[in-house]
Structure 1
Amino acid sequence: MEGQVNAWDSVSPEELLQGGDVTEGVVRSGDTVRRPHSASSERVRSLLIHLERVGFAGAPRYLGVDDRGRDVLTFVDGEVARRPAPEWVASDDRAASVASLLRAYHDAVGSFGMPEVFDDASPIRPEGSPEPFPVPNELIGHRDVTLENVVFRDGIASALIDFDLARPSSRIDDVCNLLQWWAPWQPVEDRPEALADADACARAAMLVDAYDLDAASRSMLVPLARNTAERTWYSMRLRAERDGGGWRRMWDAGVGDAIRRRQEWLRKNQEALTKAVM
């Protein structure tokens, strides 16, 4: 039954799951994942229930809350690119399958609409941050399609995990996020070693084709990516100051400098990147 968890399952041995930058204390217990209750819990619960109802198989199932107040999800078995990223993240076929999975997610989440529970999910605009690029919200985007948040089976992307950053968004917002990590649209010094030699233009062209992104949206990808990078510096600084924890650790480790480098890389390469995705 929705919202129920078998009592026997709550006492299974627990294994700490690595890879997250922000959420701590995520464990595997038997065939389930236990996550500390957070501000995003109700949003994630409603989203995962919708995805199950419409038959989307590429996400965990929400099971309920355990006797310690943790959210309980199904454990999605398969390969995940833990750090340091394995060599297989450079596979074009694998990357293309991530784009196809993201398209399938968008098609499935479209009927979810914009539930009220997501009203407080949109990020605030910190002082000094530029205006957001004018892209209307059309669905609940995943917004965190990192190398670590995709589960593969037999070399094919089979599931997205970690929906904590899901919020009102657009298809191209998520595609920009996809390009940041899987093309990857960032300077060589900030890429995982496995992607250091990747051709960001060729990979981007392959990814937008695999997603089957329309021509009008393709024309907005580079300016949206630049705007997002500019705004991310301010939002990351705010979260480090306001929320601390993993956000503070990332900021102290130099993520702000990495974002500045990405801004410059996008500026220098905007002409080639635009040509590649059109």
Structure 2
Amino acid sequence: MNEEAEELAGGNASESVLRVGDTVRKPWLENSATVQKYLKALQVAGLDVPKPLGKDHAGRHVTEYVEGVAALDQLPLGQHDLLRVGRLIRQIHDASEGFELPDTTGWNVLLPAENPNLMCHNDLAPWNLIMGERWVFIDWDAAGPSTRLWDLAYAAQSFGGLFEGQPVPEAAARLRAVIDGYGADELLRIALPDTLAKRTAAMHELLKSSHETGFQPWADMYVNGHGVHWHAAAEYVLRNQDAWKRALT
């Protein structure tokens, strides 16, 4: 019996995201085979990630559908939850140490890190964390070579709510909770404030340059509010560098 397909909302960068029964199906991309292997490796290491289920008859990338609510709909998260987020990210990074970095020739690596040395999710943000009986990061389509610092900076900025309009002391406390949960060492804490600013600015630059060149879906996202949002976020993160340094060190 064929199961009915339900279109899932919320994805910005993936076309035709469907739920079919207990699975999610998306277009097969250049890195999909590697993503399947990566998820399997994390699963073998004991992490709770969406089960990789290969390719279906229509050539689509298939993973497990995870029940729960998006962390995005629960913001701002409290300190206990932010500590748990930090621990979960640390577990992902530690388990990724043994995964051989793939050849990314032909991939669209959107926000590459300098000197990548670790396979990373690259979008560990509230819109990709499902909370329920299980806490699971979903949407691994952007997975690829990066660094702990670059991946963590984006996650800490988004979960910490380091966005224009947020009271700085509260954002700094949330940032501290994520990094404490991660168990970051002194070198990582010292490097994070500057990297937070670079990573946020890089996100805005991706949207801006995509608008100029017509590179979709980022070009449309730039004019549909994301450009304004990330420009303001980049200025906010840079303007409050001293607050982030005090919170982390």
Any conservation in 1 of the 2:3–2:20 contact (CA below 8 Å)?
A: yes
- 1:191-247 Cα shifts (integer Å, max 9, x gaps): 7xxxx7981111111111100011101101111111223333332233345564431
Pairwise mapping of residues 82-161 of structure 1 onto structure 2 (< 5 A)?
Answer: 85-87=72-74, 89-117=76-104, 120=107, 122-123=109-110, 136-154=115-133, 158-161=135-138
User: Helix, strand or coil: the match of 2:63?
Assistant: strand
Indicate which of 259, 267, 270 corresponds to 2:230. Answer: 259
TM-score in terms of structure 1 length: 0.80
AA of the residue aligned to 2:160: A
User: Helix, strand or coil: the match of 2:97?
Assistant: helix
Give the match for residue 175 of structure 1: 152
User: Helix, strand or coil: the match of 2:243?
Assistant: helix
User: Helix, strand or coil: the match of 1:116?
Assistant: coil
- 1:76-111 Cα shifts (integer Å, max 9, x gaps): 222224xxx434543222222111111111111110
Indicate which of 230, 236, 239 corresponds to 2:207. Answer: 236
Indicate which of 71, 74, 80 corresponds to 2:61. Answer: 71
AA of the residue aligned to 1:140: M
Q: What is the rounded CA distance, in whole Å, between the counterparts of 2:28 and 2:211 in structure 1?
A: 20
User: Helix, strand or coil: the match of 2:217?
Assistant: helix
Give the match for residue 5 of structure 1: none
User: Helix, strand or coil: the match of 2:98?
Assistant: helix
Any conservation in 2 of the 1:89–1:95 contact (CA below 8 Å)?
A: no
Alignment RMSD (CA, Å): 2.5
Any conservation in 1 of the 2:130–2:137 contact (CA below 8 Å)?
A: yes
Any conservation in 1 of the 2:125–2:155 contact (CA below 8 Å)?
A: yes
Any conservation in 2 of the 1:43–1:118 contact (CA below 8 Å)?
A: no
Matched residues, percent identical?
Answer: 27
- 1:57-88 Cα shifts (integer Å, max 9, x gaps): 2x11111211211111111222224xxx4345
Any conservation in 2 of the 1:118–1:168 contact (CA below 8 Å)?
A: no
1:267 Cα deviation (Å)? 2.3
Any conservation in 2 of the 1:64–1:71 contact (CA below 8 Å)?
A: yes
Q: What is the rounded CA distance, in whole Å, between the counterparts of 2:172 and 2:51 in structure 1?
A: 35
User: Helix, strand or coil: the match of 1:77?
Assistant: coil
Give the match for residue 193 of structure 2: 222
AA of the residue aligned to 2:192: L
AA of the residue aligned to 1:226: A
Q: Number of paired residues?
A: 249
1:26 Cα deviation (Å)? 0.9
Summarize the Cα distance change of 1:224–1:23 in structure 2 as closer, same or farther, 3 Å threshold: same
TM-score in terms of structure 2 length: 0.89
Q: Which moved more, 1:199-208 or 1:236-245?
A: 236-245
- 1:141-173 Cα shifts (integer Å, max 9, x gaps): 11211211001124xx62111112222111121
Q: Which moved more, 1:216-225 or 1:164-173?
A: 164-173
1:20 Cα deviation (Å)? 0.8
AA of the residue aligned to 1:22: A
Q: What is the rounded CA distance, in whole Å, between the counterparts of 2:136 and 2:105 in structure 1?
A: 22
- 1:245-277 Cα shifts (integer Å, max 9, x gaps): 431221111322322222221222111111101
- Structure 2 unaligned blocks of 5 or more: none
- Structure 1 unaligned blocks of 5 or more: 1-7, 126-131
AA of the residue aligned to 2:139: D
Summarize the Cα distance change of 1:226–1:18 in structure 2 as closer, same or farther, 3 Å threshold: same
Summarize the Cα distance change of 1:112–1:268 in structure 2 as closer, same or farther, 3 Å threshold: same
